[in-house]
Amino acid sequence: MSENIFINFSNHPSNRWSNEQKKAALNYGEIIDIPFPSVDSNGDESYIKETGNKMIERIMSYHPKAVLCQGEFTLAYYIISALMRNEIIVLAACSNRNVKEDGNKKIVEFNFVRFRSYIA
CATH number of the domain enclosing 50: 3.40.50
Beta bridge partners of 69: 9
Mind listing the pLDDT tens digit for each residue in 10-22?
A: 999 999 999 999 9
- Region 73-97: mean pLDDT is 97
- Strand order of the β-sheet with 5-10 is 30-35, 5-10, 66-69, 89-102, 105-117
Domain count along the chain: 1
Q: Which domain holds residue 13?
A: 5-117
pLDDT of 100 above 90: no
Mind listing the pLDDT tens digit for each residue in 24-74?
A: 999 999 999 999 999 999 999 999 999 999 999 999 999 999 999 999 999
- The whole model's pTM is what? 0.90
73-89 burial by CB neighbour count: b if 16+ within 10 A, else e? Answer: ebbbebbbebbbeeebb
